[in-house]
Chain A
Amino acid sequence: MKDIICKVAVIGGGPGGYVAAIRAGQLGLDTVLVEKKMPGGTCLTVGCIPSKALIHAADEFSRLRHFADGGAMGITASDPAIDLRRTVEWKDGIVSRLTSGVSGLLKKARVKIVFGTARFLDGKTLAAETDMGEQIIRAENVIIATGSVPVELPTLPFGGRVLSSTEALALTAVPKTLAVVGGGYIGLEIGMAYAKLGASVTVVEAAAQILPLYDAELVRPVTKRLQELGARVLTGAAARGLAPDGEGLVVRRADGTDETIAAERVLVTVGRRPLTEGFGLDEIRLDMAGRFIRIDERCRTSMRGVYAIGDVTGEPMLAHRAMAQGEMVAEIIAGLRRGWDKRCIPAVCFTDPEIVSVGRTAEEARAAGLEVKTGSFPFQGNGRAMTMGRDDGFIRVVCEADSHLVLGIQAVGAGISELSTAFAQAIEMGARLEDIAGTVHAHPTLGEALHEASLRILGHSLHI
């Protein structure tokens, strides 16, 4: 095959890679994207989007069951049923709509897509294994956007009834019993969805608390909801391996004793690791930062003309971080002056209730030597939350004590993820408490709790 010579080659078509490619194309750069399967990456095909589809379906189903149980809000329903095969089909429909949408956008930006697995020959040359043989790509700039993959436990290798998140999002029947090993956000999002779909769920977490990256106050409403859903949570516990009976999972509990828990399926979600092998990274010997590729504030690696973005470059491994980096790198290659200067990257956990954390927590800010004040407002005092039948959770604002500069906003509550936009905007714009307090917040909405939390620090909250 004839060599491709281009300005930009992107390895990986996930949210980081495809955004970088689209932007590069828009800026008139001759761009090639190398992708193994379909553009969209983990996020679109086996991550964010499919999991949210499943979560939403589970919510709808659980609501109907709730009405069937007791006729809350005067609504009665009878005997709802779910055909997970059709649910998954529906989900796949969304995924294919999105992936074809991305392909269309890439085409519109005149990005050439090479389907295959890329490998570095040197810092400016890639060899892509395609169906039609090896394709050599010579590029002035290469963007590594290979992303991350689920971490496997040696005691519980993926396969059979041991699932990674990818398989868990493609089950065709709801398992009777599901053990979730790893109580991070991925495990709990999927675990709670299956609990709502009727599975008996046990969460096995090694730390003292589920969602160890969030503080206890934020996690409490989620723990409570897990109990309501009948899920069992074992903290300080470690999965030892599958029970020989083919039905159970052996768990070493916090007290040191072993217990075999019922687990028709075992979902292992103990984190993700950057994908740094399989594409000839050894050939170019980039500097690493631990497991990740080391980058500077312009996403440049230690080799000239080689950039890296997304999960392969470090925490937080979030699609929107990768997208922002991708856009920035494309513009840098096009000769624009850009640099990573974001104040915050919002993190959303789609459990029930949802958790949002934007900017710094009070602890983080104090650790950075700042004097802070915090104020929170519970949804119990919020009219809209009550009308939705969900008044659990709160919004919490962290600000600098003297300047009232908003440093962070955390919240937990049903549907709170949509407010992450407002939170991030406040921080990115450098808002002070007075700015939030001086903004009219629509009534009745959940956002009023942000207003009230700010007023509370200022000492004149109205509704508490």
Chain B
Amino acid sequence: MGVFSVKLPDVGEGIAEAELTEWHVKLGDMVREDDLLAAVMTDKATVEIPSAVTGKVIWLGATVGETVAIGSDIVRIEVEGEDDSELAVAEQAPPTVVEPEMVRQQERVKPAPVAAASEKEAPSPLGRTFAGAGPRRPEGEKPLAPPSVRLRAREAGIDLRRVRGSGPAGRITHDDLDAFQQQDDTARPSATPGADLSVTEIKMVGLRRKIAERMAEAKAHIPHITIVEEVDVSALEDLRTRMNAEGVAGRPKLTVLPFLIRAIVKAVKEQPALNAHYDDEAEIIRQFGGVHVGIASQTPNGLLVPVIRHAETLGLYAAAAELARVAEASRNGTARREELSGSTITISSLGPLGAVATTPIINRPEVAIVGVNKIAVRPHWDGQQFVPRKMMNLSSSFDHRVIDGWDAAIFVKRLKTLMEMPAMMFVGG
């Protein structure tokens, strides 16, 4: 018997740690090679960790929600037919341990230089010490409890096999029974039909926690200035409707967003300060030549920002196609890491739910975000009379530390002009 350590693999350039979001195995499980062990989340991508070996899970290195350093052990698997010397080497395997073949080769040539140091932490291959809480008794064994506990359990209608024993060797004590009963009581819904006193505690893990952190950081660091401007999109809508009506096979249907992307590309060409990252820790502003437009999207897993890279190179239809592709990828969870990071300016759109105005939160370290509100037919005074026009508001936020209100206003005005006279988007480069 030997022990094989699965380490958290390097899941991306410059990433030092990842959050464990899910266990696919539990202690004592038998796993086969390539079975999924766990899921970790870095930045905004989720990475599944497969098992490199076949064996029994004897140690789990973290609980869900914990942050784990790249290269640290996350699972130890007891494998057949490996002796102790190999075990020591396996402990020292490089973090890319998920590629089993490669690791094995490295193991053979590599001596075990610091095996002694790791020995202290490494649990015994059996992995069972009985200082504190014991494990459950094996299947088929009677629950281990003194007669008085058994009697109490029976009278309370509790199956002792469901109770975890905290005593030596997993012995179930009166206290364990108390705890189990309390837990059982709270789990039961309140009998009174009136006030619902239940409180559901949900541990913030994974993407949700990440979003929470990012939002809090953005709000805490960035003094937001938000400008809401009214845009008459009647001309744009006419154009869009016409283009879609004359649809050419293979071309995607156009929404407002590709036009807005186009407008932003155009606008930031004149105001590069808005297509930038402000690294407030290094006190550096990085203005980008390329325009990578993040699209804040609601997915079943939560808020993700798939990125349309180099939007300045994309025509209207190409942008629409790319938009559809990354949105779909992020929705069904197949988005690659680079498709979910690296934006330089972000669009936030709630589509038909877009309300009249919003106060978008900047996707830090970007400096600007453009929020799209819903299109509605509103009366418009053309100087002589009210005419029905298709109106849409843009609610845009800016990092007021680096973007002055004046510049922000010019940017918004520019977007308004381009959107109201879409022909301007397509002239002059």
Contact = CB atoms under 8 A, between A and B. Distances in A.
B144 A337 contact: no
A294 interface: no
Contacts of A428: 146-147
B150 interface: yes
Contact of B142 (A336, A343, A432): A343
B353 interface: no
Contact of A430 (B128, B145, B154): B145
B245 interface: no
B157 A337 contact: yes
B277 interface: no
B147 A403 contact: no
A89 interface: no
Contacts of A403: 128, 130, 134, 168-170
Nearest to B171: A430
Contact of B167 (A336, A339, A341, A430): A430
B155 interface: yes
Interface in A328-355: 336-339, 341, 343
A405 interface: yes
Contacts of B130: 402-404, 432
B144 A405 contact: yes
A1 B145 CA distance: 51
A412 to B, nearest CB: 27
A400 B169 contact: yes
A339 to B, nearest CB: 6
Contact of A405 (B126, B145, B150, B169): B169
A343 B167 CA distance: 17
Contacts of B147: 341, 428-429
Interface in B28-67: none
Nearest to B149: A430
Nearest to B148: A429
A430 B168 CA distance: 9
Interface string A391-410: 00000000010111100000
Nearest to B124: A402
B164 to A, nearest CB: 14
B66 to A, nearest CB: 28
A108 B126 CA distance: 57
A405 B146 CA distance: 13
Interface in A410-464: 428-430, 432, 434-435
Interface string B152-183: 00110100000000011111000000000000
Contacts of B169: 400, 403-405, 430, 432
Nearest to A405: B169
Given A402-B128, A435-B168, A430 B157 contact: no
Contacts of B146: 428-430
- The CB with the most chain A CB atoms within 10 A, among B157, B167, B171, is that of B171
B101 to A, nearest CB: 34
A334 B170 CA distance: 33
Contacts of A405: 144, 169
A343 B143 CA distance: 10
Interface in B308-362: none
B168 A341 contact: no
Nearest to B150: A341
B387 to A, nearest CB: 82
A337 B152 CA distance: 10
B89 to A, nearest CB: 26
A336 B128 contact: no
Contacts of A338: 154
Contacts of B157: 337
Nearest to A429: B146
A323 B13 CA distance: 73
Contacts of B168: 403, 432, 434-435
A404 B128 CA distance: 12
Contacts of B167: 430
A336 B155 contact: yes
Nearest to A428: B147
B159 to A, nearest CB: 11
Contacts of A402: 126, 128, 130
Interface string A164-199: 000000000000000000000000000000000000
Contacts of A429: 146-147
Interface in A294-341: 336-339, 341
Interface in B156-214: 157, 167-171
A150 B48 CA distance: 69
B161 to A, nearest CB: 11
B150 A430 contact: no
A405 B144 CA distance: 10
Contact of A337 (B126, B128, B142, B154): B154
A429 B146 CA distance: 4
25 contacts: A336-B155, A337-B157, A339-B154, A341-B142, A341-B147, A341-B150, A343-B142, A400-B169, A402-B126, A402-B128, A402-B130, A404-B130, A404-B169, A405-B144, A405-B169, A428-B147, A429-B147, A430-B144, A430-B145, A430-B167, A430-B171, A432-B130, A432-B168, A432-B169, A435-B168
Interface of A: 336-339, 341, 343, 400, 402-405, 428-430, 432, 434-435
Interface of B: 126, 128, 130, 134, 142, 144-147, 150, 154-155, 157, 167-171
Q: Which 8 A-B pairs have the closest CB atoms?
A: A403-B169, A405-B169, A430-B171, A430-B144, A429-B146, A337-B154, A341-B150, A432-B168
Given A403-B170, A432-B130, 6 more contacts: A337-B157, A341-B147, A403-B134, A403-B169, A430-B146, A434-B168
